[in-house]
Amino acid sequence: MDYDNAVAQLLNVDGALAVGVVDYDSGMLLAGTGSARIDLEIAAASNTEVMRSKLKTMEMLGIKDEIEDILITLERQYHLIRPLKKHEGLFLYAVLDKSKANLALSRRALLDMERELDV
């Protein structure tokens, strides 16, 4: 499955507002779709900094583990970042409407998509 199909499929998750695949080495959005109110280019670049910061913090603390996902909870939205283990330097990014999304099912959808991309 290619990244464009992956983000299109993830946009079908209940409450999904925007979805992207991001290269956190460059901060570039490789594929993305969703609400015109969310500038995915800016979100990709900004969340790249979140990802880098967490990895740096883990390194400084000597934590030898892998990030499964990063959840940012806002008043009306969830922002999920899921690194793609077999696609080094890339992560899935999803913006969800908090009033419509089921967080557990959304996290599961990102995991399932990661597995499909690994095939």
Position 9, amino acid:
Q
CA dihedral (52, 54, 60, 65) positive or negative: negative
Task: Quote the pLDDT of residue 81.
Answer: 97
Please list the residues that pair with 83 across neighbouring strands.
Answer: 91
Position 66, amino acid:
E
Provide the pLDDT confidence category of residue 1 given band limits of 50, 70 and 90: low
CATH fold for domain 3-118: Beta-Lactamase (3.30.450)
Helix, strand or coil, per DSSP, at residue 3: helix
Per-residue pLDDT reduced to its tens digit, 58-108: 999 999 999 999 999 999 999 999 999 889 899 999 999 999 999 999 999
Per-residue pLDDT reduced to its tens digit, 7-32: 999 999 999 999 999 999 999 999 99
User: pTM for the complete prediction?
Assistant: 0.92
Helix, strand or coil, per DSSP, at residue 111: helix
Task: Quote the pLDDT of residue 88.
Answer: 87
